[in-house]
Amino acid sequence: MDTLTRLRTLFPALQTLEESAQRTLIEQGSLARRPAGTVLMRQGEVCPHVPLVLSGALRVYKLSPGGREMTLYRAGAGDTCLVSVACRLTGDDFPAIAQVEEAAELFFIPYAVYSRVLDSHIPWKDFLIATLYKRFSESLQVLESVTFDRVDRRLAAWLLNRSEAQGKATLSVTHEQIAAELGTAREVISRMLGEMRHQGWLELGRRRVRILDPEALRELSE
């Protein structure tokens, strides 16, 4: 499938653009592949283009001065990377890091082209508004669980979610990674996993967490 078709499928807002504008996007934009681990945006950097995600996954997270991480949300096919778009809009530094989590294909629209072609396009603006709103809600949920929920509940919920998403009872993940997801310290996760193993709910190995008793986890997480 050619790039234009893929873009139109993943970003329906683009379908309502005039043919000539669509051609401009394709001609002036560029498709790029980025391997897992690539950092797309660091705090305070300015991005010279608007990136659309065609495949793969990005993770957007905050980094504390002390080195602790906290995942805010992920972006996948059909998403645009807010981090880059938004800091353009206001001139602020976007205070988070966007990193490729699974090898991704990105379509970069140079900012000049973006201004000319998309900036006066209502369906695109609606797409942006919906995206922003979604991120906002997601971050609020994170905020809510961080301030009001206990870590053990959040951990149980995270394990269940992850296990369901992957359709497996055995997760391949380090304690460090879990801590980054939940915005806490590795030691805390190790202790709690240890406790859950002690209860017979989990089996642990290096880079491996196996869920033995999902019901117990569900009950804890309510």
Partner DNA sequence: GTGTATTATGTGACTAAGTTACCGAATCAA
Partner DNA sequence: TTGATTCGGTAACTTAGTCACATAATACAC
Contact positions vs its own copies (CB under 8 A) = 62, 64-66, 68, 70, 72, 86, 89-90, 92, 94-96, 120, 122, 125-126, 128-130, 132-137, 139-144, 146-148, 183
Query: Closer CB to its own copies, residue 70 or residue 204?
Result: 70
Binding partner at 186 among its own copies, DNA, none, C-beta below 5 to 8 Å by kind: DNA
Instruction: Tally DSSP H helices, then E strands, for the chain.
Output: 9, 8
CA count, 13 A, side-chain hemisphere, 189? 21
Neighbours of 91 (CB within 10 A): 7
Binding partner at 112 among its own copies, DNA, none, C-beta below 5 to 8 Å by kind: none
Binding partner at 191 among its own copies, DNA, none, C-beta below 5 to 8 Å by kind: DNA
> Which has the closest alpha carbon to 51: 64, 38, 70?
38
Least separation, in Å, of the C-beta of 135 and its own copies? 6
To 10 degrees, the CA torsion angle through 141, 174, 104, 61? 40
Least separation, in Å, of the C-beta of 87 and its own copies? 9
Query: Closer CB to DNA, residue 68 or residue 121?
Result: 68
- Are 171 and 163 a contacting pair, CB within 8 Å? yes
Binding partner at 199 among its own copies, DNA, none, C-beta below 5 to 8 Å by kind: none
Least separation, in Å, of the C-beta of 65 and DNA? 10
Q: State the Cα–Cα distance between residues 16 and 47, nearest whole angstrom.
A: 26
Binding partner at 95 among DNA, its own copies, none, C-beta below 5 to 8 Å by kind: its own copies
State the amino acid at position 63 in one-letter form: L
Query: Closer CB to its own copies, residue 62 or residue 191?
Result: 62
Q: State the Cα–Cα distance between residues 173 and 154, nearest whole angstrom.
A: 16
